[in-house]
C-alpha cells in the first residue's frame, strides 16, 4: 500500500467505507492520471464539474493571473472586484431573461440555503415545496429538502414547513398554494438517475407559481454550463425561474456558486435589516476569474452545440443485453442495468480498466456518465467499448455461475 493511500485512510475523513481511492497525480483534458501515471478516461467530470475537462489552459491562466494580482480583499458585495463584475455582466447577457443580478457563494448547497432565505423573506411565507428524490446539498436546510426519511432521520430535526411533491406529477401541483414561499426543483432530476421533465412539467410549475405568488427556484447546479446541450436547461425547457442556482461547472474546477435573480428580488437581502446573507469567501476573485474564463470559452466555442450529437453517439453505442435503458439529457446520462446486483462490480471494473463512472444517490440500478463536454467521438467509442467488454465479462461470469 502506498504511503499516501495509508495516510489517506488514516487521516482523511471519508464518506463511505469503500472509497474509490484513485490516487491522483495530475489531470489534463479528458484524463486523470494515477500515481503510476496511468490515464483514466473521465466519464464523470467530478460529478458534472469539469465541463472543459481538467486544467483547461485558459482557466489555468486566469487563475494564475488573478492569484498574482489580488486574492481575498473583502466580498459581501462591498468591494468592486473585476472578475465578479465581468462574470455577472456576461452571465446576464447569456441568460437574457431578466435574471440580471448574481449573488456569489462558494458551493451549490450555499446557493440553495441563500435562495430559501431569500424566498422566505421576500414573500413573508414559510412553506417550502421540494420534489421527492431530489438532492440539493448536504447542509441542514438542503438536507431538509430531501424526501428519504431513512437518511434524514439521523440529522433531524431539519428546517420546518418543508413539503414534497413528485417530479413530473401534475396532480401534485395543487399543493402549491398562496401559503407557499417557494418551490425548489431541478430541471432534470440528477441524483434520481437522470429524469427529464415530461409534458411541459416545468412550464406548469411556473404557471402554478404565478397563480399563487410563489417563487420558483430552479436548481441548475448540475445541469448548468452546457451539460444538457444548452448553456442552461431553462433554455432547453422554455422556463424562467425567479431564482436560478448555479455551481459545479461554473468554476471550471474551482469552487464557486451563485444565485441569480432580478435586481429587485436580490435587494431583499440588502435592507430591513441589511446583510441578509453574507459569506467571507463567496465570490473569491481567483474562483470567479476561473468562472469567467470558463464562461468565455463556453460562449466562444461550439462545445455546447456538439452535446446533442455526442449524446446520440453514446446512445447508439450503449446497446447490450445487460443494459435495460439509457436515460439522458445531453451529456448527463444514466445507464440502467437489468441486474442491479452487478452495479458496483461494473463501476469498480470500469475504474480498474481506466474509465471513471459513478453511482447515483437515489438509483441503485444505474450508473452515471457525465463526461467533460470536450470529449471527442473517439474517446466516446473507446470508453464505451471498455464498458461493453466489462458487461460482456460480468454477464458471462453470471451465466457460468448459474450453469454450474
Ligand X SMILES: Cc1ncc(COP(=O)(O)O)c(C=O)c1O
Q: How far apart, in whole angstroms, are the C-alpha atoms of residue 230 and residue 224?
A: 8
Note whether 356 and 42 are within 8 A (CB): yes
Q: Is 126 helix (H, G, I), strand (E, B) or coil?
A: coil
Least distance to ligand X from the beta carbon of 184, Å? 9
Least distance to ligand X from the beta carbon of 111, Å? 8
Number of residue whose CB is nearest ligand X: 108
Q: Does 44 bind ligand X (CB under 6 A)?
A: no
Of residues 47 and 322, the one with the C-beta less far from ligand X: 47
Q: Residue 131: which H helix or E strand, with range?
A: strand 127-131
Note whether 132 and 108 are within 8 A (CB): no
Of residues 249 and 285, the one with the C-beta less far from ligand X: 249
Q: Does 228 bind ligand X (CB under 6 A)?
A: no
Of residues 219 and 242, the one with the C-beta less far from ligand X: 219
Q: Does 107 bind ligand X (CB under 6 A)?
A: yes
Q: Exactly one of 108, 193, 283, 285 binds ligand X (CB under 6 A); which one?
A: 108
Least distance to ligand X from the beta carbon of 108, Å? 2
Q: Does 222 bind ligand X (CB under 6 A)?
A: yes
Q: 288 burial class (0-12, 13-18, 19+ CB within 10 angstroms)?
A: buried
Of residues 235 and 324, the one with the C-beta less far from ligand X: 235
- Interface region with ligand X, contact rule CB under 6 A, candidates 3-11, 101-109, 159-167, 303-311: 101-109
Considering CB under 6 A, how many residues would be counted as binding ligand X? 14
The full DSSP string for 288-336 is: HHHHHHHHHHHHHSSTTTTHHHHHHHHHHH---TTEEEEEEETTEEEEE
Q: Where do we find the cell 440529522?
A: 155
Q: Does 247 bind ligand X (CB under 6 A)?
A: yes
Q: Nearest to residue 255, comparing CAs of 294, 199, 228, 215?
A: 294
Around Cβ 347, how many Cβ atoms within 10 Å?
A: 19
Which residues, 6+ apart, have CB-to-CB distance to 140 below 8 Å? 155, 158, 159
CA–chain centroid gap for 134, Å, is 12
Least distance to ligand X from the beta carbon of 213, Å? 25
Least distance to ligand X from the beta carbon of 148, Å? 15
Cis check: omega of the bond before 273, within 30 degrees of 0: yes
Least distance to ligand X from the beta carbon of 332, Å? 10
Of residues 364 and 389, the one with the C-beta less far from ligand X: 364
Q: Does 217 bind ligand X (CB under 6 A)?
A: no
Cis check: omega of the bond before 2, within 30 degrees of 0: no
Of residues 230 and 349, the one with the C-beta less far from ligand X: 230
Per-residue 3-state assignment (H helix, E strand, C coil) for 183-201: EEECCCECCCCCECCCCCH
Residues of span 173-202 touching ligand X by CB under 6 A: 186, 190
Of residues 127 and 219, the one with the C-beta less far from ligand X: 219
Residues of span 270-299 touching ligand X by CB under 6 A: none
Of residues 42 and 219, the one with the C-beta less far from ligand X: 219
Q: Residue 329: which H helix or E strand, with range?
A: strand 323-329
Note whether 323 and 337 are within 8 A (CB): yes
Q: Exactly one of 40, 120, 136, 320 binds ligand X (CB under 6 A); which one?
A: 136
Instruction: List contacts with ligand X (CB under 6 A).
Output: 47, 107-109, 112, 135-137, 186, 190, 219, 221-222, 247
Amino acid at each position: 500500500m502506498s504511503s499516501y493511500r495509508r495516510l489517506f485512510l488514516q487521516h482523511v475523513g471519508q464518506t463511505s467505507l469503500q472509497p474509490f481511492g484513485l490516487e491522483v497525480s495530475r489531470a489534463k483534458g479528458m484524463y486523470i492520471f494515477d500515481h503510476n501515471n496511468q490515464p483514466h478516461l473521465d466519464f464523470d467530470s467530478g460529478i458534472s464539474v469539469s465541463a472543459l475537462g481538467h486544467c483547461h489552459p485558459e482557466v489555468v491562466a486566469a487563475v494564475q493571473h488573478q492569484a498574482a494580482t489580488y486574492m481575498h480583499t473583502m466580498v459581501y458585495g462591498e468591494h468592486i472586484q473585476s472578475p465578479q463584475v465581468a462574470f455577472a455582466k456576461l452571465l446576464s447577457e447569456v441568460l437574457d431573461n431578466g435574471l440580471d443580478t448574481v449573488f456569489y457563494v462558494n458551493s451549490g448547497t450555499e446557493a440553495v440555503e441563500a435562495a430559501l432565505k431569500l424566498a422566505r423573506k421576500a414573500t413573508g411565507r414559510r412553506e417550502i415545496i421540494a420534489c421527492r428524490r431530489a438532492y440539493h446539498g448536504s447542509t441542514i436546510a438542503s438536507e431538509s429538502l430531501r424526501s428519504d426519511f431513512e437518511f434524514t432521520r439521523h440529522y433531524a430535526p431539519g428546517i420546518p414547513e418543508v413539503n414534497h411533491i413528485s417530479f413530473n406529477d401534475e396532480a401534485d401541483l395543487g399543493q402549491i398554494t398562496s401559503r407557499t414561499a417557494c418551490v425548489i426543483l431541478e430541471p432534470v432530476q440528477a441524483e434520481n438517475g437522470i429524469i427529464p421533465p415530461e409534458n411541459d412539467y416545468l412550464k406548469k410549475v411556473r404557471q402554478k407559481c404565478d397563480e399563487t405568488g410563489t417563487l420558483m427556484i430552479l436548481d441548475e447546479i448540475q445541469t448548468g454550463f452546457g451539460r444538457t446541450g444548452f448553456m442552461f436547461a431553462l433554455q432547453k425547457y422554455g422556463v424562467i425561474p425567479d431564482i436560478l442556482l448555479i455551481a459545479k461547472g461554473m468554476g471550471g474546477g474551482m469552487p464557486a456558486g451563485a444565485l441569480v435573480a432580478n435586481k429587485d428580488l436580490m435587494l431583499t437581502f440588502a435592507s430591513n435589516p441589511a446583510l441578509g446573507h453574507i459569506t467571507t469567501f463567496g465570490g473569491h476573485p481567483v474562483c470567479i476569474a476561473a468562472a469567467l474564463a470558463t464562461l468565455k470559452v463556453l460562449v466562444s466555442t461550439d462545445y455546447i452545440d456538439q452535446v446533442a450529437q455526442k449524446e446520440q453517439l453514446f446512445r447508439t453505442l450503449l446497446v447490450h443485453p445487460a443494459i435495460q435503458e439509457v436515460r439522458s439529457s445531453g451529456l448527463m446520462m444514466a445507464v440502467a442495468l437489468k441486474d442491479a446486483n452487478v452495479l458496483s462490480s461494473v463501476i469498480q471494473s470500469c475504474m480498474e480498466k481506466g474509465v471513471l463512472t459513478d453511482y447515483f444517490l437515489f438509483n441503485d440500478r444505474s450508473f452515471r456518465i457525465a463526461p467533460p463536454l470536450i470529449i471527442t467521438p473517439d474517446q466516446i467509442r473507446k470508453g464505451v467499448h471498455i464498458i461493453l467488454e466489462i458487461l460482456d465479462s460480468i454477464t458471462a461470469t453470471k451465466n457460468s455461475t448459474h450453469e454450474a
